[in-house]
Every structure is written in structure tokens, then in C-alpha cells.
Amino acid sequence: MKTIKIFDAKNYPPDLPVFQRSAVRAVIVKENKILLVKSDREGFYKFPGGGMEKGESLADTLIRETREEVGYQTVPSSIKEFGLIEEKRLSTVDENQIFHQLSYYFTADVLDERFDQSLDNYEKELGFTPEWVDIETAISVNSEFDEKYDVSFVRRDTFVLKYISENNNV
């Protein structure tokens, strides 16, 4: 998969052990709107997706996470590679570790029927709700949020939203 961007904070000694996490994120566009997860509590948007579970393929993770976070069923035959974002920084969980995340983005279609979300507790606390939104609105909201709070995953997803918008990639 093509690497779109590498975010490397370079805020770590290079000899620390590395914790690597792989995640999958869905880029779903329909009628000039993009399907994102909105945090009703904080106000930011993020792509549906999350970490791979043991034994899962990238496609399996995409299908599961899309169903859990936004309540839509992914059409498996529609899944196509979009791009990879790498993030590398000192871990916020263990300061004796480097956090290296690989986020695999895929375009996909979903069926029209919507099901109940299946959210983790922290996702419920953040008020995660699916929203079909204009991409420029999502960019504007996230850019304003990132200026105030400097959150790495919001910056990553805002970068991808801008990349889509600037390159007409979906």
C-alpha cells in the first residue's frame, strides 16, 4: 500500500523498544458526503476504524470496525486500498517505549440499512455518532479543534481529509 504521510515526532531516543499497532480506517463517500464518526462531546470528526484483533485481516478489521462505530455493513467487494499513514512518537502510555502506528485507509461502500453501533466505553463517553458530512465542514471543524488541543489522531485524520479534498481521490 502506498504511504501517504509519515508523522514522526522524533521525541524519543532511538534505542527504545518499539510498540507497533496496526489499525484500519474506512473512507466512505456517497452523494458528495463522507461518513465519519463525530464526537458529540468534543466536536471532532474521525474516520471509522480501529485496531486489528489477533487473526484478523485488514478487510476483516475494516468490516468489523465500520459496523461497530457507524452501524453500517461494508460491501466486501467494494474495498480498495487508499493509503497508509505512519505515526511514530514517544508512547504516552509507557515513556520507555516508542509508539509506532500504521493506519491503513481503504475506500469502501456500505449498504443503506443502518444498525445499532457497538461502542467501547470510551467511545460512548465521547458521544461517537455517525454523520454524513461535507468534507470541507469536517476539515474546518477538525482544524479548529487541533489548533486548540493538538491531538495527534485528529491531525492525522484532518491530513487525510485534506488529501482527499485536494486530490479528488474518492
> Residue ranges of the alpha helices (H) in the chain?
58-70, 121-125, 135-149, 152-167
Q: Is 4 helix (H, G, I), strand (E, B) or coil?
A: strand
**CA distances (Å), origin 77, targets 108, 109, 110, 144:** 8, 9, 10, 36
Per-residue pLDDT averaged across 141-155, rounded?
92
Q: Which CATH number do you get for residue 78? A: 3.90.79.10
> In this predicted structure, what is the pLDDT of residue 150?
82
Say how many domains are in the chain: 1
Rounded CA gap, 86 and 6, in Å? 5
Give the range of the structural domain holding residue 131, as residue numbers without chain letter: 3-167
Q: Is 60 helix (H, G, I), strand (E, B) or coil?
A: helix
Q: pLDDT by residue (tens digit) across 69-81? A: 999 999 999 999 9
Q: pLDDT by residue (tens digit) across 48-99? A: 999 999 999 999 999 999 999 999 999 999 999 999 999 999 999 999 999 9
